[in-house]
Structure 1
Amino acid sequence: MQALLSDPDTPAGVRFGQAREPVPQAGDVLIEVERFTLLLRNLEHAATLPPGSIPGFDAVGVVRRAAEDGTGPAPGTRVATLMTGNAWA
Structure 2
Amino acid sequence: MAGRVLHAQLHLLDRQLIDHRTGRLVGKVDDVEFDLAADPPLLTALICGGQRIPARLIAEVDSAVKISTDGLDLDRWDDWVDEHVIRKIPGARHATE
| TM-score, length of structure 2 as denominator length | 0.30
Higher helix share: 2
Higher relative contact order (CA 8 A, sep 6+): 1
Bigger radius of gyration among the two: 2
Structure-1-length-normalised TM-score: 0.32
